[in-house]
Amino acid sequence: MDYPLIVDLFFVLLSVLAVVSGWRVFCTDSMVRASFFLLVSFIAVGLIMILLAAQYLGVAMFFMMAVEMMVMALFMVMFMMNPAGLNPMMMVHQHRFAIVAGAVSFVVLAAVALLAEFPDSPLPADLDPVTSLGNELLGDSMLIFESAGIVLLTTMIGVVVLSSHRGRFGAAEEGSMPPGLAPGGEPAGMPKESDEGGGHHHHHCH
């Protein structure tokens, strides 16, 4: 399929932008700047998707990545050392192995791209990509789509469990202590402790 010259020009510019900003993610001093470089890389790929007529996916990419990278920048400021890039940063391990692994994966995938024979069947002229995606999501592939939703819900629950400071019956690090049936009463549903070495304080309320 032949694209007009302007599309090819945009594609070259966006590819360079995607690769260069993707590379800068790992060699900038500031972790916040790294997350914005990653955002630039994602937006360039989203624009290439729009050039390929996948408008919905390209725009979804913008929305998702803008929010995701903001969260990432926030986490950088909260948890990481040196978020502002005031000092030089080079926090790497197994550096040579990582470079070799990255280069090998690029060479193998590039060899597939250059040497393999793929069928040349472009989009039909009368295809509306957004309508076709919508019909697929709420039609034949509804089970996959809904399963993705359930998995996302499960993820939300798992994330709350993992990051929550306290569980239902007390702080996450301590043994759980169910509340009493009456206010200040004995913990409900706990077996009676007969040995004095048990160390459970029944009247300790949280």
Partner 1 sequence: MTLTTLLLLAAALIGIGVYGALSQQSFVMLMMGLELILNGVMLAAVAFWALSGAGVPEGQLLTIVVMAVMAIEMAMGFALVVAVFRTNQADVTEGITELKH
Instruction: Indicate the residue type of 206.
Output: H
52: phi then psi, degrees, rounded to nearest 5: -85, 10
Q: Say which residue the tokens 């629950």 belong to.
A: 157
CB neighbour class for 44 (10 Å; exposed up to 12, middle 13-18, buried from 19): buried
Q: In this structure, what token pair is assigned to residue 205?
A: 């309320």
**Cβ pair 170, 187 in contact under 8 A:** no
Rounded least distance, CB 64 to partner 1, Å: 6
Q: Which of residues 83-122 bind partner 1 (CB under 8 A)?
A: 91-95, 97-99, 101-103, 105-106, 109-110, 112-114, 118-122
Distance between CA atoms of residues 118 and 1, nearest Å: 13
171 binds partner 1, rule: CB under 8 A:
no
Q: Which of 85, 133, 180, 202 binds partner 1 (CB under 8 A)?
A: 133
Beta carbon nearer to partner 1, 3 or 169: 3
CB of 135 to partner 1, least distance (A): 7
Residue numbers 4-23 binding partner 1 by CB under 8 A: 7-8, 11, 15, 18-19, 22-23
Shortest approach of partner 1 to residue 98 CB, angstroms? 3
Q: How far is the CB of 124 from partner 1 (least distance, A)?
A: 6
Q: Is 167 in the site for partner 1 (CB under 8 A)?
A: no
Alpha-carbon gap, residue 105 to 66, rounded angstroms: 28
Minimum CB–partner distance for residue 38 and partner 1 (Å):
5
Token pair in block for residue 143: 């089970």
**Would you count residue 132 as binding partner 1 (CB under 8 A)?**
yes
- Provide the minimum distance between the beta carbon of 169 and partner 1 in the complex, in angstroms, as a whole number: 18
Within 44-73, the residues that bind partner 1 by CB under 8 A are: 45, 48-49, 51-54, 56-57, 60-61, 64, 68, 71-72
CA distance readout (Å), 73 to 32, 66, 155, 184: 5, 11, 21, 45
